[in-house]
A = this chain, B = another copy of it.
C-alpha cells in the first residue's frame, strides 16, 4: 500500500474569494469602481496606501470572513482529492485574528467533509508540515518546506513559480496525474 501524501490548502484567494468581497465593500464605501482586473500584479493597498488601515479594519471582522463566496470547483475537487490524499487547511488567520471563528464556521458550512482536526490557523507557513501547499502567496510558498503550488490570483499574475495553476480543475489534473504516473 502506498503512503498517502498530504496537501495543505490556503483559504483566502484559494477557497474563498476574499478579493471580490473586499472590492464590493471598498467601492461602496469610497464610491469607486475598481475591478479585479485593475489589481493585476498588485493589491488594493498599493494604490491606496493612505487607506491601508481602514481596509484592514473592515476586513478583520467576523462578518467579513463569514460571508465570503466559495471559489469555483474547489468543493468538488477537494472532495475527490480527499479519496487519495490527506487534506489540511492552512490559513494565515493570525494576520486577522477576528477572522478565526468565522473561518472555522465557513469551513464547516462549505467543506463539511473536512475534519476540523485538519484545520491549521497559523501565520508563517514554514510551521506547516505537509507534502504540498496550494497558496496564492509567494512569501508563504517560499517559507513552506514541501512542494509549493501557486494558485493564480490577480496580485500574483506576473510572478513566476515552478508549479502555477489557474483554477481548481488544473489542481485536480496535477494531483490525479501524480496518482496515475505512480501506479
Contacts and interface: CB of A to CB of B under 8 A. Distances in A.
Contacts of A126: 129
Nearest to A116: B94
Interface of A: 6, 8, 88, 90, 92-95, 97-98, 100-101, 104, 115-124, 126-130, 145
Judged by DSSP, the binding face of A is mixed
Contacts of A122: 117, 119-122
B124 A127 contact: no
A100 B104 contact: yes
A97 B104 contact: yes
A129 B127 CA distance: 5
Contacts of A93: 121
A3 to B, nearest CB: 13
